[in-house]
Amino acid sequence: MGAPETMVAYLYKPGFDDLIRVDDYPVQQPRKGEVLCKVLACGVCHTDVAILNGYTNDSRSYVLGHEICATAIALGEGVDPNIKLGHRYAIQIANGCTRALKPHTSAALNAIGTGGPGGYADYITVADNLLVPVPDNVPDKLAAIAADAGTTAYNAVVNTGQVKAGDKVLIIGVGGLGHLAVQYALLQGAEVYVCDLKPEARRLGLELGAVKAFSPVELSNAVAAASPFTVHVVVDFAVSAQTFSLGLSALVGEGDHYPTDPRYVLVGISGDNLVFTSGEALFSAIQIRANLYGVRSATEAALELFANGSVKAQVVTEPFENVNKIIDELRAYEVSGRKVLQISELGY
């Protein structure tokens, strides 16, 4: 099962608000340690919007798209023998072998679809150590979101937030990642609360098992009440000056004598200035933690939880050519859950 010399691809180009379609983009043949894959599905993410809006100020042009499920179709020299032709894989965005483009920058800016070639294309060539096998009963669309939304949300809750049984957890933003985080926190044995501006997102949080759903105004009133609402962990997928202030107000203080320091996990991308003074950092028990993506075990866990039915994802598939339409919907905050492009019908 070979590949043609060219393919359809949608590129990020500096200065353009939309992705640029190229019908004869070259297919890169696999080099040593690389695998050529047929892209089956690719999720559309708010990170794509941030890149197109100029957040990374990247002068390069490249194929965007980083939530990928694909089938291996050609192997370069020396590829891991566990990689099998015809098998489906979720493609990790980056791992410990991913290198930054220049000093003092994140390797994420040189990763799959966020600087390096991505999945808004018919084919992609990647390092073999980025391929994570997909269980047979996991559909392409779920395998795709496991590669980012599933990985990032799981890592934020379990590894960065260290959520455990008995914790009270506030999830801010019940969107494509947040609705998964609600379920991961519940599986850890936590008592979960949610906050979102949109009524439908609050309803989703309750349907998934949250104890209570707040609007920002309701949360502001709750943390200012005579008996204030407090939690041990905040996981913030919205990340704005408003959500940061509210989330900090909800975290337990040292007087609560809780054995673990209260944690605030930042996940979303924001241009807002988030205020946390040096005095607060020195004299508060609160820990501010940032979560960017996740380790391979988080991807494996996300796939397994989809496979065994423990986590239900809100996912809608659309045709490949709808990518710019979905980007515009994300810009307008019109998307609930996750949208995935069905790029090929190969696979499950």
Label each residue of 192-225 as H, E or C. EEEECCCHHHHHHHHHHCCCEEECHHHHHHHHCC
Q: What secondary structure letter does DSSP report for 30?
A: P
What does the alpha-carbon distance between residue 206 and residue 336 come to, in Å, rounded to a whole number?
A: 15
314 against 102, higher pLDDT:
314
Give the model's confidence band at 279: pLDDT under 50 very low, under 70 low, under 90 confident, else very high. Answer: confident
What does the alpha-carbon distance between residue 220 and residue 228 come to, in Å, rounded to a whole number?
A: 10
Per-residue pLDDT tens for 37-77? 999 999 999 999 999 998 888 889 999 999 999 999 999 99
Task: Give me the mean pLDDT over the 16-39 stretch.
Answer: 96
**Claim: this prediction has a pTM higher than 0.85:** yes
- Nearest Cα to Cα of residue 62 among 103, 116, 5, 126: 116
Pairing of strands 88-91, 67-75: antiparallel
Q: What secondary structure letter does DSSP report for 119?
A: S
CB atoms within 10 A of CB 129: 17
